[in-house]
A = this chain, B = another copy of it.
């Protein structure tokens, strides 16, 4: 396979099932191959199911029963599914058509039903998972890193917090088990030991000592409340609350950093907070940066956090950095050339041009570029193939900076030998949070990655297209205006989108009541979502979000002021309801298609406003 630019038109079933026949043909080929594999296994063996068996009434009745059940499945799915494969009617959740190579590989591999928890049950697919893990670590810039698939992003975040907790507690365990290794260090110094230093000390220990240290780590249940605070932005996903809860670190240890009016974490406040904690000798378990917030698609300035960590390290203050790039992670491919090298900012334009990434003039913010670049200097990252990897559920993943980090959380099952070194560990289950894991998932992600390279020729083009569509959509919204029964309705999108998400508010011109405006947008959402029973024939679908004062502070104030509301309104009402679109569709890159659909949804929105007002 060469490095030519992919044409993603060939890699989706299509909004109108344009590639449907090819999908069924490819799948049929793969399934036939699988059937041949079964048939030819020890050809001399007899068939357990004979033709006579198949002629029995019981067999026929059961087959009929299966047929009827599947008809019901089909019926329910057609009735109760949201048409997000639509090129331009669905502007809602992080969902779109998914990559055919991934679905096809999954559908075939499923029949082998491998379990990647151990190599014994999954030679082929465990190797694929190891390769996928390496690819993901490389995509993130972790040159000595390691990655694996998780069931979802919440589990990946939970695993990350487990890493943080374990690493923070290791120096205290050194002190108990091998005190000579940390001689002269105060508890404060122990609680500010870097991941690198912990790994260095581990290298000097015998396997027995390592086991002993791990037994004295936070895994014992001890010292957890000593390990300090987890710092997250207000825009964190709620899985971080669950992770704090589940790990026993506790919600009381969460410190939230406000976001700026651009909805990126306010790094200045983060700095103050860290310094304040340090001055009180309260350790910091870790800092979470979000790359692609779920509600706004914004990208925290990872680079500034990394740089600040370096400064603080010199002052004896260390914290682990985790990037929650569940949503935005794959976009790092946009900055990698066809040889997977991360390019310089001033070379981006030429590279985009060479690979025909954009049709219009698209600006990629330098801050965003620098944030992505700096991921390589963080300790771990959550990145979901089932979001911007355009892979079907369930496929999340996590990558860590150094492969050896995994030894700090690892276990060994009593019934498994580790008798050889393979690329895939014999017992993946002992290095990760989860247990059984379908090999088919690995086959799906592997096929996606091999077909769509993790650089500008593949995912870069695909995600670039979604970013371009988002920027165009935002411009389109900004110009949109409805005249409804003598009232003018205008559209206010958020400024400065970092990624491919667009949030906006519909507002009647001259309206001074924020609450009424919220109601208007809520009604629009209700009429344009699953709450409307005619989802399949609904000409415009979207999702929504609510910025509340208790989670967003005053960050939305400049935005609502732009709409003509005041800080007082904000104080009084305390929330703003926005319509929200994660724009993943790969089908609106073409100007003609974009215009057809935006015209169509403008008309549909107008009709709904007519009903509402």
Quick one: closest B residue to A18, CB to CB?
B49
**A341 interface residue, CB < 8 Å from B?**
no
- Contact A537:B443 (CB < 8 A) given known A19-B49, A59-B9: no
Closest Cβ neighbor of A56 among chain B residues: B7
B100 touches A154 (CB 8 A): no
Q: What is the predominant secondary structure among interface residues of chain A facing chain B?
A: helix
Query: In the complex, A128 Cα to B305 Cα: how many Å?
Result: 44
Instruction: Say yes or no: B81 contacts A551, CB within 8 Å.
Output: no
Pick from A85-93, A184-192, A362-370, A479-487 the stretch touching chain B.
A85-93
- Check A413 against B103 for contact (C-beta < 8 Å): no
> Beyond A66-B451, A82-B121, A436-B152, is A77–B13 a contact (Cβ under 8 Å)?
no
Say whether A343 faces chain B, with CB atoms less than 8 Å apart. no
A98 at the binding interface (Cβ < 8 Å)? yes
Return the CB mask of A291-304 against B: 1 if under 8 Å, else 0.
00011000000000
- Report the separation of the CA atoms of residues A430 and B34 in the bound assembly, to the nearest whole angstrom: 40
Contact, CB under 8 Å: B248 / A47: no
Q: Chain B interface: which of A200-208, A249-257, A560-568?
A: A249-257
| Cβ–Cβ contact B100 & A66, under 8 A | yes
Stretch of A110-118, A276-284, A307-315, A344-352 on the interface side: A110-118
Quick check: B76 and A93 within 8 Å, CB to CB?
Answer: no
**Can you list, as one digit per residue, whether each of A417-434 has a CB less than 8 Å from chain B (1) or not (0)?**
001000000000110011
Contact of A537 among B13, B42, B225 (CB under 8 A): B42
Contact in complex: A152, B13 (CB < 8 Å): no
| Nearest CB in chain B: distance from A379 CB, A | 18
Taking CB atoms, residues of chain B closer than 8 Å to A56 are 7
Given known contacts A246-B162, A437-B152, A66 and B446 CB-to-CB distance under 8 angstroms: no
Which residues of chain B have C-beta atoms less than 8 A from A251's C-beta? Answer: 215, 219-221
Which residues of the partner chain B approach A530 to less than 8 Å between Cβ atoms? 119-120, 123
What 1/0 mask marks residues of chain A from 91 to 131 whose CB sits below 8 Å from any chain B CB? 00101001011011111111111110001110111011000
User: In the complex, are the beta carbons of A124 and B23 less than 8 A apart?
Assistant: no
Q: In residues 69-84 of chain A, which contact B (Cβ within 8 Å)?
A: 69-70, 72-74, 76-84
Q: Which of B11, B28, B120, B221 contacts A543 (CB 8 A)?
A: B120
Q: Does A539 contact B (CB under 8 A)?
A: yes
Chain B residues in 8 Å Cβ range of A613:
none
Min CB gap A17→B, angstroms: 4
Answer yes or no: A440 CB below 8 A from chain B CBs. yes
Q: What is the oligomeric copy number?
A: 2
Cβ–Cβ contact A218 & B154, under 8 A: no
Cross-chain contact B396 with A436 (CB below 8 angstroms): yes
Are A77 and B45 in touch, CB under 8 angstroms? no
**A386 sits at the interface (CB 8 A):** yes
Chain B residues positioned under 8 Å from A39 (CB to CB): 16-17, 20
Assess the B69–A450 pair: CB atoms within 8 A.
yes
| Nearest neighbor of A72 in chain B, beta-carbon distance | B450
Q: Is the Cβ of A80 less than 8 Å from the Cβ of B154? A: no
Q: A70-B104, A225-B221, A242-B411 are in contact. Are A113 and B95 (CB under 8 A)?
A: yes
Q: For the complex, what is the distance from the CA of A253 to the CA of B11, rounded to whole Å?
A: 52
Q: Are A62 and B394 in contact (CB under 8 A)?
A: no
Q: Residue A22 at the B interface, CB < 8 A?
A: yes
Q: Which of A9-41 contact B (CB under 8 A)?
A: 9-24, 26-39, 41
Question: Which of these binds chain B: A139-147, A171-179, A261-269, A586-594?
Answer: A586-594
Please, which residues of chain B bring their CB within 8 A of the CB of A429? 154
* A61 neighbours in B (Cβ, 8 Å): 4, 7
From known contacts A81-B124, A112-B81, A251-B215, infer whether A414 and B546 are also in contact, taking CB-CB under 8 Å: yes
Partner of A6, one of B32, B41, B65, B127: B65
Asked if residues A38 and B154 are in contact (CB atoms below 8 Å), the reply is no
Q: Given contacts A69-B450, A85-B38, is CB(A436)–CB(B154) below 8 Å?
A: yes
Q: Can you list the 8 inter-chain pairs with the closest CB atoms, starting with the nearest?
A: A248-B248, A221-B250, A80-B124, A154-B435, A393-B438, A48-B587, A20-B35, A80-B123
Given contacts A41-B83, A221-B244, A396-B436, 20 further A-B contacts (CB under 8 A): A6-B62, A9-B48, A9-B53, A15-B48, A22-B63, A30-B70, A45-B88, A45-B597, A69-B450, A74-B108, A82-B121, A98-B113, A107-B110, A120-B530, A152-B434, A154-B435, A219-B250, A247-B247, A394-B441, A414-B546
17 A–B contacts from the bound complex (CB under 8 Å):
A1-B68, A1-B69, A4-B61, A5-B58, A7-B59, A26-B66, A46-B87, A46-B593, A46-B596, A66-B451, A123-B530, A123-B535, A154-B436, A221-B252, A241-B411, A247-B247, A393-B437
